Amino acid sequence: MKYVKKAGYIVATILFLVFTLGPFVWTFVMAITPKAEMFSNVVSLLPSHITWSNFQNLFSGGRRSVAYFTGLKNSLRAVIVTICIGMPIALVSAYALSRMEFPGRKIIKNALLITMVIPVMATIIPLYKMFSAGHMLDNTFWLSMVYVSSYLPMATWMIINYFSTIPKELEEAAHIDGCSRGKAFFKIILPLSYPIILSVSLIMFLNTWSQFQIPLILASSMDTKPMAIVVSEFVTKDSVEYGLIATAGIISLIPPAVTAIIFRKYLISGMVGGSVKG
């Protein structure tokens, strides 16, 4: 039985690695495979010779190169705006819902849970009409506001649950010392909340970075198109640049991958702390 469990663990680990790392490895193989060989009748997992032409094309400064890096810049702008606006709102909302007593508090908390299950495509048509009437289309700020409204319920709920792990006695002691509720928040609650702040910020970053459906409807100009939309436009009615798409995908993975690796400890601790309590 011991060897069966060990064999099962090894098999499960191998399957996990194949299904998680396999697509990334295959994408990299496509990026370094010559175009002619990619469409040949010869079946081979690896190219007969490696080419870096796709990477050179993407960094050449040509039309597609400019469009791609403009999309990266637009994605980064949207990430910054979303986090800088979404996190303070989520923190203040979570503090009010977790520490203050007021009429309708439980209704608001339950409403947050309900809004989490509403699919984004159920609201995209009303959003488009509202954006069109208000002349807010093709605007990174207003596009980011849609992201903020989408992430706010989840972010607020996670922070509420994390605040519940912080003893109320710390705030009560601060109040006895003459600190107002606002000062107690900045002096006690906020310094203790950096794991959940980093965790929620990272989740916002990863979700905003990979957005496709919302900007596909609300952002149609090169000034606002994010990276995902630009890469999808490498597919035209005349050709599909598989190698270039794979190369763009590999490069686009670098910022979120590096960020997730650096802050992985806070991501895990924040998510655990924001989910097991409440």
72: nearest Cα among 245, 226, 224, 249: 226
Q: What confidence score (pLDDT) does residue 277 get?
A: 45
pTM given for the model = 0.84
DSSP, collapsed to helix, strand or coil, labels residue 222 as coil
Name the more confident of 141 and 6: 141
Phi and psi of 61, rounded to 5°?
90, 10
Q: What confidence score (pLDDT) does residue 78 get?
A: 95
Q: Residue 116 and residue 40: Cα distance in Å, rounded?
A: 47
Query: Is the Cα dihedral 65, 69, 72, 77 positive or negative?
Result: negative
Q: What confidence score (pLDDT) does residue 24 get?
A: 86
> What does the pLDDT average to over 103-110?
85
Query: Can you name the residues that pair with 235 across neighbouring β-strands?
Result: 240
Domain boundaries, the chain: 1-51, 62-273
pLDDT digits (tens, 9 = 90+) for 168-222: 877 777 767 777 777 777 777 888 888 888 889 988 998 999 899 899 899 888 8
Lowest mean pLDDT among 21-35, 150-164, 209-223, 253-267: 253-267
Q: Residue 246 and residue 39: Cα distance in Å, rounded?
A: 15
- pLDDT(138) > 80: yes
- pLDDT(247) > 60: yes
161: nearest Cα among 102, 112, 104, 208: 112
What is the CA angle 110-111-115, rounded to 5? 125
Average predicted confidence (pLDDT) for the chain: 84
Q: Residue 80 and residue 82: Cα distance in Å, rounded?
A: 6
Select the CATH number that applies to the domain covering 62-273 from these four: 3.40.309.10, 3.40.630.10, 3.30.70.2740, 1.10.3720.10: 1.10.3720.10
Please give the radius of gyration of the chain, using alpha carbons only, rounded to the nearest integer: 23
Q: Residue 32 and residue 27: Cα distance in Å, rounded?
A: 9
Q: What confidence score (pLDDT) does residue 267 get?
A: 66
3-state secondary structure 33-45: CCHHHHCCCCCCC
Query: Can you name the residues that pair with 141 across neighbouring β-strands?
Result: none
| Residue that is written with structure tokens 């190698």 in the block | 243
Name the more confident of 39 and 81: 81
pLDDT digits (tens, 9 = 90+) for 28-76: 888 888 877 777 776 677 787 888 988 988 888 888 889 999 999 999 9
